[in-house]
């Protein structure tokens, strides 16, 4: 931790018009960094194993061949992994959450816009995945008792996840130590069972796709399922244990391994399960698939639904879909909201909007999210690595009179970038995420170096 970070973390909160400081968004100190690399691996598996991946794998078939679907998951998420490591350095090195870092490239007030763009999809997916988990619980209730009340189950299941997240990073880690091995074992068993039960052979996997979806589009869809975390992974890495050496590879070694094995392998497995279910049943809804497959064995049905569906939803929702909007809302009102209260607000909104009404459009929604987040990620990487060389003025991040005021607390360069970034995604929808991110990074760097830094000097830019 830098001396500026230590000084800032000890400084008492001070009132200002912009409300830039608050207990839950200050840089983490050594005592708060309790998550080991192994613990972060468990958290990673929990975050990245989600039924959205299952659904995407099922819905892409038969437009793409089975092999292409699995490969799109691997290559799409390799890109996500690189971005996760790059943006995770912000939390590891400086101990700040994403919503606070966004002040550097977007300005003190401007930071709320990309923060909300990150928060809203998370809230949507929280509600959607709570619905999926509740469907599973409802099926278990029907199988065991004949009783069904989906609405009540959604409320209770949602409340449990909200409570677990509001309890903090340690509660999330403890749950994921149980969830991770259960998810791996159950997932492998389901894949094996479907392949043998439906006599799926190597020839089925080699069947060419019928067309209509390109491989690049599939990669963007697969990346879209996890790309939101590449924006806000600093919310998690700020709690990781770290050494004194701040060189990039030594500082991020644990994060690199934890997220590689915690992202690529689980994503490939769960996409494969969804894809196989598409081949076997033609159905994308995992609850329907599991209920049909194990309908003759109540014990297996209950076990699979409980382990595969419920664990997956809780593990991914807590770290990926409730924690990020919690910090975003705290950043909006740091003197009025505690993290736990902000999580409750985010969770309630996620249930009230009933996102399961849009279940048929998961792939389209993922593409839209990719297009919106692409410019933000491009700006973040360009700003943090190429403009600031991994340096930040921590004191200025919490000072309304600091260097990140720019023009009326908005950085014009960042918001100008959104226009060509998003337009490029609209013009080339199959490549929306990749183009909007690349265009965002290049245009932002040009505007910062040729204009903004000259007009609004930045301490860390020599």
* pLDDT value at residue 74: 92
Is 158 in contact with 135 (CB distance < 8 Å)?
A: no
* pLDDT value at residue 186: 82
pTM of the model: 0.84
Percentage with pLDDT > 70 across the chain: 94
Alpha helices in 245-382 (DSSP H): 248-281, 286-293, 298-304, 311-316, 323-332, 339-352, 362-381
* pLDDT value at residue 139: 83
Max Cα–Cα distance, the chain, nearest Å: 71
pLDDT tens profile 301-333: 777 777 777 777 788 888 889 999 999 999 999
Neighbouring C-beta atoms of residue 223, cutoff 10 Å: 28
Burial of residue 85 (number of CB atoms within 10 Å: 0-12, 13-18, 19+): buried
Ranges of residues in the chain with a pLDDT under 70 are 1-16, 225, 362-363, 366-367, 370, 425, 429-430, 462
Report the C-alpha gap between 322 and 316 in whole angstroms. Answer: 9
Report the C-alpha gap between 175 and 392 in whole angstroms. Answer: 34
pLDDT tens profile 131-159: 988 988 888 888 888 889 999 999 999 99
Is 316 in contact with 270 (CB distance < 8 Å)?
A: no
pLDDT tens profile 375-419: 899 999 999 999 999 999 999 999 999 999 999 999 999 999 888
Give the DSSP H/E element, type plus range, for residue 113. helix 112-145
Report the C-alpha gap between 294 and 193 in whole angstroms. Answer: 10
Report the C-alpha gap between 319 and 169 in whole angstroms. Answer: 8
Report the C-alpha gap between 226 and 295 in whole angstroms. Answer: 32
* pLDDT value at residue 425: 67
């Amino acid at each position: 931790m830098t001396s500026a970070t230590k000084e800032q973390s000890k400084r008492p909160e001070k009132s200002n018009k912009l409300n830039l400081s608050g207990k839950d968004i200050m840089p983490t100190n050594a005592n708060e960094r309790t998550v080991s690399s192994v613990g972060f691996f468990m958290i990673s598996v929990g975050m990245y194993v989600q039924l959205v991946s299952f659904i995407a794998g099922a819905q892409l078939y038969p437009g793409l061949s089975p092999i292409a679907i699995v490969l799109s998951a691997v290559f799409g998420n390799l890109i996500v992994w690189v971005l996760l490591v790059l943006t995770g350095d912000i939390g590891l090195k400086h101990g700040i959450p994403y919503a606070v870092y966004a002040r550097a490239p977007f300005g003190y007030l401007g930071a709320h816009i990309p923060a909300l763009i990150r928060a809203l999809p998370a809230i949507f997916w929280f509600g959607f995945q709570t619905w999926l988990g509740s469907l599973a619980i409802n099926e278990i209730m029907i199988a065991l008792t004949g009783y069904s009340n989906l609405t009540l189950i959604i409320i209770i299941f949602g409340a449990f996840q909200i409570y677990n997240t509001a309890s903090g990073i340690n509660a999330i880690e403890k749950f994921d130590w149980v969830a991770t091995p259960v998810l791996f074992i159950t997932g492998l068993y389901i894949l094996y069972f479907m392949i043998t039960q439906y006599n799926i052979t190597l020839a089925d996997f080699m069947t060419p796709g019928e067309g209509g979806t390109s491989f690049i589009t599939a990669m963007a869809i697969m990346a879209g399922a996890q790309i939101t975390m590449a924006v806000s992974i600093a919310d998690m890495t700020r709690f990781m244990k770290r050494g004194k050496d701040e060189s990039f590879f030594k500082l991020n070694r644990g994060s690199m391994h934890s997220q590689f094995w915690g992202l690529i392998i689980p994503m490939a497995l769960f996409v494969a399960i969804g894809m196989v279910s598409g081949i076997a049943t033609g159905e994308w809804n995992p609850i329907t698939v599991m209920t049909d497959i194990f309908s003759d064995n109540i014990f297996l049905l209950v076990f699979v639904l409980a382990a595969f569906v419920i664990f997956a939803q809780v593990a991914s929702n807590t770290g990926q879909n409730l924690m990020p909007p919690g910090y975003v809302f705290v950043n909006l009102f740091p003197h009025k909201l505690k993290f736990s209260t902000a999580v409750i607000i985010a969770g309630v909104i996620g249930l009230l909007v009933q996102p399961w009404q849009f279940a048929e459009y998961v792939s389209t929604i993922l593409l839209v999210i990719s297009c919106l987040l692409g410019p933000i990620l491009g700006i973040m990487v360009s700003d943090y690595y190429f403009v600031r060389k991994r340096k930040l003025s921590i004191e200025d991040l919490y000072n309304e009179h600091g260097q990140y005021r720019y023009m009326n607390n908005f950085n014009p360069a960042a918001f100008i970038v959104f226009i060509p970034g998003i337009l490029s995604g609209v013009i080339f929808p199959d490549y929306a995420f990749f183009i909007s991110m690349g265009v965002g990074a290049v245009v932002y760097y040009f505007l910062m170096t040729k204009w903004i830094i000259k007009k609004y000097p930045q301490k860390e830019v020599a």
